[in-house]
């Protein structure tokens, strides 16, 4: 598949959605869970999957990236995302790590009565 480039654009909206099963804070929370990140630029939506809910691009930033269209979705290639802050300096945001194994189990009820009440 061929990639298309988006260069030096500002986002109009940014959304994050949890993809893996949710986990309570007492069990580590959703800090490193897989999230779908959706960028809206000039009315077009582009998305990618990444760990954590940390935002990769702010509204004051400009962003450049390459994307592929697959099943009607514009999927951003993670390794091509370049973010420039408002001063024009390259900045790295978001959790750029990876996990070899994703969460598949649903969170169980807590063992203690006190935690069940919360």
State the chain's maximal CA–CA distance in angstroms: 55
Percentage of the chain beyond pLDDT 70 is 85
Q: Is the pLDDT of residue 62 over 90?
A: yes
Burial grade of 35 (CB within 10 A; 0-12, 13-18, 19 or more): buried
| Cα R_g (the chain), whole angstroms | 17
What pLDDT does 109 receive?
A: 64
Question: Mean per-residue pLDDT for 49-66?
Answer: 93
Question: Mean per-residue pLDDT for 44-53?
Answer: 92
What pLDDT does 71 receive?
A: 92
Average predicted confidence (pLDDT) for the chain: 87
What pLDDT does 95 receive?
A: 80
Q: Is the pLDDT of residue 116 over 70?
A: no
Give the tokens for residue 100.
Answer: 């070899």
Q: Is the pLDDT of residue 96 over 90?
A: no
Contacts 24+ apart (CB under 8 A), 20-24: 20/102, 20/103, 21/103, 21/104, 21/105, 21/106, 21/107, 22/107, 23/103, 23/107, 24/107, 24/110
Q: Is the pLDDT of residue 64 over 70?
A: yes
Percentage of the chain beyond pLDDT 90 is 57
């Amino acid at each position: 598949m061929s990639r298309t480039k988006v260069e030096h654009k500002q986002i109009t909206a940014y959304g994050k959605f949890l993809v893996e099963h949710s986990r309570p804070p007492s069990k580590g929370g959703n800090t490193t869970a897989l999230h779908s990140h959706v960028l809206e630029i000039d009315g077009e939506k582009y998305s990618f999957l990444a760990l954590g809910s940390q935002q990769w691009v702010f509204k004051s930033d400009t962003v450049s990236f390459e994307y592929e269209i697959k099943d009607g979705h514009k999927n951003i290639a993670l390794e091509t995302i370049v973010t420039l802050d408002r001063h024009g300096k390259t900045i790295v945001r978001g959790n750029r790590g990876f996990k070899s194994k994703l969460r598949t189990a649903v969170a169980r009820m807590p063992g203690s009565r006190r935690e069940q009440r919360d």
